[in-house]
């Protein structure tokens, strides 16, 4: 399959979970893909698994300089960038009114500044007709107790994406968002809540899902590829919710 032949994609947080599945799907469709992550070991492993159509780069999204350096490596290897998936993110739980300041700051820095650092770094190198997809979350629009600060960072991503869609339209660049529901990735083990509280929160969400199951990463990747494909060329500023019905229940 060659839907993305001769095209270059830049995927932040592409070493595990949704980002890795998206990188795999893009490569299967012919793209050259640059993946980033902050952990050098996971970056190297992802590079090995993705093969010779991929370049894996260690870069912390919270650092504007690191993102500029990562994009410079991508451009040196593959030229201008056609597809961006600003996906890197963290989810730390706890009551919104009782989340420690350092946890709040880590989430703001990764989930909001990280997206901005990525977009700012890639902007000068985007090809005409490029597609940018930002990874938000179903909880940006659906209230779930226990993940309030995370939800707020993802609501900010939706707002940012809508503005970017308007600002970049004159360059022929589309910006859309995906909002996954609960997806089986390593993130589900990283909430940092007391184990019983975390298990209760996850079980509560699962029990209320109309689809009766959580998503698999390749189901989110499929939506990212749709929004990155020229055949969705008139879709911009949209938020594609992929949550098994969670938001409408
Ligand atoms: N899984 C879900 O249920 C779900 C639902 C809605 C939205 N999302 C969103 O989907 C995105 C991907 O999450 P996932 O579920 O696939 O989780 P994941 O497997 O934990 O993947 C997160 C990715 O982001 C990277 N990352 C985290 N902090 C980073 C930083 N400071 N700099 C660079 N890379 C960083 C990780 O790399 P390292 O391992 O090197 O840190 C990893 O590659 C996140 O934005 C998340 O909020 C997930």
d(C-alpha 117, C-alpha 115), whole Å? 6
| Protein residue whose Cα sits closest to atom 32 of ligand 1 | 60
| Protein residue whose Cα sits closest to atom 14 of ligand 1 | 17
With bands split at pLDDT 50, 70 and 90, how would you rate the model's confidence at 1? confident
Catalytic center residues: 150
Contact (CB, 8 A) for 209 and 246: yes
d(C-alpha 78, C-alpha 120), whole Å? 19
pLDDT at 189: 87
CA of 97 to the centre of ligand 1 (A): 24
d(C-alpha 22, C-alpha 87), whole Å? 10
d(C-alpha 193, C-alpha 171), whole Å? 43
* Index of the ligand 1 atom closest to the CA of residue 180: 6
d(C-alpha 75, C-alpha 126), whole Å? 10
pLDDT at 79: 97
Task: Name the strands in the sheet holding 174-180, side by side, starting at the edge strand that comes first in the sequence.
Answer: 54-58, 32-37, 8-11, 81-86, 126-135, 174-180, 239-242
d(C-alpha 222, C-alpha 166), whole Å? 24
d(C-alpha 150, C-alpha 26), whole Å? 28
Tokens of 42: 């996971």
CA of 170 to the centre of ligand 1 (A): 31
Architecture of domain 8-248: 3-Layer(aba) Sandwich (3.40)
pLDDT at 70: 99
Task: State if residue 244 touches ligand 1 by the CB under 6 angstroms criterion.
Answer: no
d(C-alpha 139, C-alpha 152), whole Å? 9
The tens digit of pLDDT for each residue in 136-186 reads 999 999 999 999 999 999 999 999 999 999 999 999 999 999 999 999 999
d(C-alpha 139, C-alpha 36), whole Å? 25
Residue from 44, 86, 88 to probe ligand 1 pocket by mutation (most atoms less than 8 Å from CB)? 88
Task: State if residue 117 touches ligand 1 by the CB under 6 angstroms criterion.
Answer: no
Task: State if residue 142 touches ligand 1 by the CB under 6 angstroms criterion.
Answer: no
Give the start-to-end residue ranges of the domains of the chain.
8-248
Q: What is the pTM assigned to this prediction?
A: 0.98
pLDDT at 58: 98
Q: Which long-range contacts (CB under 8 A, 24 or more apart) does 55-59 make?
A: 56/14, 56/15, 59/12
Residue 54 sits at φ, ψ, to 5 deg, of -120, 150
With bands split at pLDDT 50, 70 and 90, how would you rate the model's confidence at 20? very high
CA of 124 to the centre of ligand 1 (A): 25
* Index of the ligand 1 atom closest to the CA of residue 12: 34
The tens digit of pLDDT for each residue in 188-210 reads 888 887 888 878 878 888 898 99
Task: State if residue 151 touches ligand 1 by the CB under 6 angstroms criterion.
Answer: no
The tens digit of pLDDT for each residue in 63-122 reads 999 999 999 999 999 999 999 999 999 999 889 999 999 999 999 999 999 999 999 999
């Amino acid at each position: 399959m060659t839907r993305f032949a001769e095209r270059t994609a830049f995927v932040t947080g592409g070493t595990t979970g949704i980002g890795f599945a998206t990188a795999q799907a893009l490569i299967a469709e012919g793209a050259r893909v640059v993946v980033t992550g902050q952990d050098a070991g996971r970056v190297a492993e992802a590079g090995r698994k993705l093969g010779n159509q991929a370049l894996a780069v260690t870069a912390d999204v919270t650092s504007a300089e690191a993102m500029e350096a990562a994009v410079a490596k991508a451009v040196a290897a593959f030229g201008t960038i056609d597809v961006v998936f600003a996906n890197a993110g963290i989810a730390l739980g706890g009551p919104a009114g009782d989340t420690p300041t350092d946890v709040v700051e880590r989430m703001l820095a990764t989930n909001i500044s990280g997206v901005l650092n990525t977009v700012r770094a890639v902007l000068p190198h985007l090809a005409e007709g490029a597609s940018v997809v930002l990874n938000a979350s179903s909880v940006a629009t659906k209230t779930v107790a226990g993940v309030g600060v995370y939800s707020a960072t993802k609501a900010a991503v939706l707002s940012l994406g809508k503005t970017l869609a308007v600002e970049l339209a004159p360059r022929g660049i589309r910006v859309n968002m995906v909002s996954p529901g609960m997806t089986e990735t390593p993130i589900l083990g990283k909430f940092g809540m007391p184990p019983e509280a975390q298990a209760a929160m996850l079980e509560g969400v699962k029990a209320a899902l109309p689809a009766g199951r959580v998503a698999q990463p390749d189901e989110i990747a499929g939506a990212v590829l749709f929004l990155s494909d020229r055949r969705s060329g008139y879709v911009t500023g949209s938020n594609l919710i992929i949550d098994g019905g969670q938001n409408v229940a």
